[in-house]
Amino acid sequence: MRHDTTRRRSGPAALLTVIATAAFALILAFAGAAPANAASSPSPSPSSSAAQSIQVWIRKASDRSDVPGVKVTVSQGSFSQTVTSGDDGKALVPVPAAGTYKVDLDASSVPEGAGTVPTGLNPRQVVVSAGNQGVPAYYILVAPGGGATPTPGASGGASSGAGGGGSGADSGASLFDLIAPRIVTGLIFGLLLALASIGVSLIYGTTGLNNFAHGELVTFGALMGYVFSAVLGLPGVVAIIAATVLGGVFGYVQDLGLWRPLRRRGVALVPLMIVSIGLSLALRYLFQFIFGADQLVLPADNRAAFILGPVRLRSTDIISAVICIVLLLLVAFVLLRTRIGKATRAVSDNRSLAAASGIDVERVIRTVWVGAGSLAGLAGVLIGYYQSLRWDTGASILLLIFAAVTLGGFGTAFGALVGSLVIGVITDVSTVFIPNNLKYVAALVVLIAILLVRPQGILGKASRIG
């Protein structure tokens, strides 16, 4: 495969603009709504002292309108509590301990004409881990004869997104009310993607490898977060730090044990890419072998902590966004201002020239692998908080990562950031117009469309694409 060595990187200005814009959009939203938050406290819970709670939410499938007055019983052993859904169709049930609870909707209390719960989804078992707040037990009532498909929030995987942030709109909602929350959650998702994408881009820039096993670095971080928080019961901060550090170690070990020996053997780029595919397959199913095929849930408070008009965010969403922005600024600083960052960009630009001018290329690549691993690990654990996680969480977003990197321009770290934000917003906003399960398709279609018009990506240089 031919390779163009004249890679150019966009200036620092572009990067700072992008980060600043993303940060600004979020900060603006937060700052503007802080008083509103204080004024209207979100979903009042009768006894919020309980460490765990289940969020019941009943809606109609036809127009997603909330259904009030439905009786739901949550029980486990001797514990049993019956609640009635409020005007917003919701009811928060505090539960005393972690465990599996039976959530049973009383079909006779459903208002006339509101529809019925699809069979098989009621009663259902809801798993509550220690410290989980607002574990979803969502019911979508299907009108008799209506062809709508039930999508229970609890099993929605990626689709459950930011805790109902997007889907909380009322039936009479304006287009703005539908789109605004999705832009915010999309930006947050984009920031999470960016953490992972920058690693892909840097590895590609310094070694030429399209790492198809990058999704597994992300999953690894998510699973480590799960081990530390849900299994060992440590606080979330510890889990996040552990995932980041261990992700870095994983990246280092991968480079040391696999990629460096292969570089030494002079294996060409396409075989390397296929090796990464094999590694991805092996690791992914190793994760399934160890952790099982089910959804895993990180203990977190899933109640909306922050409400501004149609935008509802959980505290984890806000914390994740802040962590991402800080980390991305840090990466930018490292790349632009430090010795190793400059060396990295030099190796990306022209490897031979960098080596000839005394840069230790192997050391740069090692650093890039450690950095990419820890960023991906962090992205993984944050994505675990953002949605839920599984053995294939990383693999399922790998194509979005590639889309983001391609969109921004291969090998340009800052392009990866722009691409990620674009992909994140497109993915979430598209659900207004197309079915939820096609939201990744929107991003991939945009990827193909962009390649038609501007194959070098948004920030890439035309000379590179050969």
Partner 1 sequence: MDFSFLLLALGQIISPQTIAYALAALGLAVQFGFTGLLNFGQAGFMAIGGYAFAITTLHLGFPFWLAVLATLVATTVMALVLGIPTLRLRADYLAIVTIAAAEIVRYVVKTPDLIPLTGGSDGLNGAAVTFDALNPIPPGSYGFGPLRYDENDLWIILVGWIFVILVALLVRQLMKSPWGRVIKGIREDEDAVRSLGKNVFSYKMQSLILGGALGGLATIINIIPTSLQPDNYGTQTTFFLLTIILLGGATTVFGPLVGAIVFWIVLSLADGFLSLAVQYHWLPITTIQQGPVRFIIVGVALMLIVIFRPSGLIGKKREAFFA
Taking the C-alpha atoms of residue 402 and residue 396, their distance in angstroms, rounded to an integer, is: 11
Q: Does 273 bind partner 1 (CB under 8 A)?
A: yes
User: Edge-to-edge, what's the strand order for the sheet holding 71-76?
Assistant: 79-84, 71-76, 99-105, 124-128
How far apart are CB 311 and partner 1 at their closest, in Å? 27
> In this chain, which of 23, 54, 56, 447 binds partner 1, going by CB under 8 A?
447
Please tell me whether residue 238 binds partner 1 under the rule CB under 8 A: no
Q: Could you tell me if residue 431 is left (phi over 0), alpha (psi between -120 and 50 degrees) or otherwise beta?
A: alpha
Q: Does 268 bind partner 1 (CB under 8 A)?
A: yes
Asked if 138 interacts with partner 1 (CB under 8 A), we say: no
Query: Cα–Cα distance between 203 and 191 in angstroms, integer?
Result: 19
Q: Which of residues 245, 279, 318, 329 is near partner 1 by CB under 8 A? A: 279
CB neighbour list of residue 446: distance below 8 Å, 6 or more residues apart: 403, 407, 422, 423, 426
Q: What is the DSSP pairing of strand 79-84 with strand 90-95?
A: unpaired
With CA atoms as reference, report the closest residue to 67 among 75, 76, 77, 56.
Answer: 56
Nearest to 387 by CA among 397, 375, 398: 397
Instruction: Residue 404: name the closest of 447, 368, 374, 440 by CA.
Output: 447
36: left (phi over 0), alpha (psi -120 to 50) or beta: alpha
- The least distance separating partner 1 from the CB of residue 160, rounded to whole angstroms, comes to 17
Position 143 contacts partner 1 (CB under 8 A): no
Among 349, 355, 445, 461, binds partner 1 (CB under 8 A): 445
Residue 83 or 447: which CB sits closer to partner 1?
Answer: 447
Q: Which residue among 14, 33, 143, 277 contacts partner 1 (CB under 8 A)?
A: 277
What is the three-class DSSP state of 9? coil
Residue 259 near partner 1 by CB under 8 A: no
DSSP letter at 119 equals T
Asked if residue 278 binds partner 1 (CB under 8 A), the reply is yes
Q: List alpha helices for 310-360, DSSP H.
A: 315-337, 339-349, 351-356
36 makes contact with partner 1 (CB under 8 A)? no
Residue 37 contacts partner 1 per CB under 8 A:
no
| Least distance CB 33 / partner 1 (angstroms) | 35
Rule CB under 8 A: choose which of 60, 90, 182, 284 binds partner 1: 284
Instruction: Tell me if 254 contacts partner 1 by CB under 8 A.
Output: no
Q: How far is the CB of 93 from partner 1 (least distance, A)?
A: 30
Told to check if 432 binds partner 1 by CB under 8 A, we report no
CA 442/CA 435 separation, integer angstroms: 10
For residue 46, state whether it binds partner 1 (rule: CB under 8 A): no
> Under the rule (CB under 8 A), what is the footprint of partner 1?
1-2, 4, 149, 210, 262, 265, 267-268, 270-271, 273-275, 277-286, 288-289, 292-293, 399, 402-403, 406, 410, 435, 437-438, 440-441, 444-445, 447-448, 451-452, 455, 465-466
